[in-house]
Structure 1
Amino acid sequence: MRVAFVSNVVYPFVTGGAEKRIHEIGTRLAAAGHDVTIYGRHFWDGPTQITHEGMSLRAVAPERELYDGERRSITEAIDFAVRALPSLRGALRRDKHDVVVASVFPYFPVLSSKLASLGTDTPLVTTWHEVWGEYWTEYLGHLAPFGKLAERVTARTPQHPVAISTITADRLGDIGPTRDDIEIVPNGIDVEQIQNVPLPDRGYDVLFAGRIIEHKNVDLLLDAFDAVADEHDATLGIIGDGPERDRLESKRESLIHSERVTFLGFLDDYEDVLGHMRAASVFASPSTREGFGITFAEAMAADCTVIAAEHPDSAADEVIGDAGYLVDATDDSLARSLDRALDGERPPADPTERAQRYDWDAVADRAETAYRCAIDRTW
């Protein structure tokens, strides 16, 4: 099988969830004997075409800043889509790839990938990490209609869609493909790596890790932790950065047990984050918007008791199942579960066993099956 991934960013030269997924699946496909090419921006040193961990990396556009302030740059996405089109179209005309896999979002590379495949037998598989819908209003304000339109046009483009969770598949089915035509292939983790990373010099009883933005609800965690910290002589570590960090650090000073809360900021080394998960007893993230929630899977692999918010915009319940606790997005509900978890109460199912279903080896097998189905037209 000859697989072409289209992604403006390429791991490990740029780190993020979507590009890491391509890397983990791609390297396993390559190790199994498949031919894997990634079309992306030239973020690596050296020539525009190199071999990396068994995969061919082909730069079809120069390195460029991905963000415009706090938001992803629309002009960058359009620029990459335009530059990728002729190279990908030429390769497909020469029958170099059996399937093209494009990540969503950004949307524009999906559209250019489809244009490149016109007139060929090469199917387009799309990987949907989230469907934003009404969230566009919060993200873009008065420009939200343009985001919604781009999302709907992309969803209705002929494709073989893959969603990373049931909630994403359901939301995608509402705006485009028939729900039965959407395959689910979750994001993954390296369970062995997580369970063997070094422990930090100082650990915390309760841990949060993620981008510190409004819907993560770290303020609820601060209040809930403050309510139970003294009874359990507990500490809280908060890993991550974002626009809410300054406000929340100021809020910490008003807590009764402020000295028990530490903001660690963004940790450059991924294994440092995993080490803190191994050291923690509880991982708590009351986020109300999670297209998947990879930190939940990582924390389960580290044998943490996971506490997450149950919300219609979050896939936390799907990821955690009975191997953690789901709470209302309130400080009282979160405090009750924190109290139980810090008392040593464990969820009904073993978190480490639950985490195995998200190991990258299992995920890559599911992705390979999905790609073959698209090629064989059995989807």
Structure 2
Amino acid sequence: MPTQRLLLLPGDGVGPEIFAALEPVIAWVQSSMDLEVSRAQCGYGAWLAQKETLPRRVLAEAMASDAVLFGSEDNEAFSSLPPSERPASALLELRQTMGVFANLRPIRVARSLVDNSPLKPEVVEGADLVIVRELLGGLYFGTPRGVETLADGRRRGVDSLVYFSDEIERVARAAFELARTRRSKLCSVDKGNVLASGALWRDVVAAMGRAEYPDVELSHMYVDNCAMQLVRRPTQFDVIVTENTFGDILSDCAAMISGSLGMLPSASLSAPDASGRRRGLYEPIHGSAPDIAGKNLANPIGTVSSLALALEHSLHAPELASRLNAAIDGVLDAGIRTRDLGGDGSTGTREMARAIADRLPLSQPA
């Protein structure tokens, strides 16, 4: 197999300190496989230096990489600028240019963290689900959009919720295929009783289920009910597929099943090209957390787990992914906790990253 290429984009907020703490973990991965690792700047820091949130050179490097590991982006840093002068989001441009339409957000409760969830242990124990979020359509990309001042002085903001049948089909197919590798249960979430786009979503997914995936148990649920069911009985779900905005909200809601946003990774995948290669963008879902940036408080597990997803889906190293996940479980089973997991403050970003690195096996796979 040719050399694999991984691009690290720490970004803003807590991203740089998490990536710096994870250098021993990255070094272990490099020593275990033929992997070329590069680093670049994007986000607010890049804008300060170059007046671009995503420099063209960095975008070209991302397109040439097998996987991109992204830290976080501090869009609030631009809040002092007038809306018309705010630069484009580096993350949204990366997603769109890389064509990563299927966002996978695994939600799993570690045995040793059942009591950390704000939900009752008997509710969350055994929860293991994946939310597949459509990432390139809907409100975040639909047109027309913008803010305008009307003749009577009122201001109006417009966003367009637009979906095409082929956009729904490709993300639904990714979700159906994922469900086949798990428990063969797929719940499609929409708001088809109110939204035309939701009615189309349900029609398309239902038709695909009947025609192509009769072996997958397909159910449908309105998004408000799904939000309730995630906190009422999360173990009922295996794979959830939904549109962009709903997926954004539901995945953060589901994060509390595990007890902390800092625990959760994500993988955003493109369609396979002619050679079968899929571009992958991997990131923790916790955001930039500027209030704790630089204080050695951020939980690095979401980023480590995102790296494990990159090893599994883009870098053709599932055995290394398993070893990395086992090291995370070992740390948690040993009772090591960052503050967001109920720790006493003695374990911060650096200490947690070192504890994970110390549990990685010395012997390397063949």
TM-score of the aligned structures, taking structure 1 as reference length: 0.30
Higher relative contact order (CA 8 A, sep 6+): 2
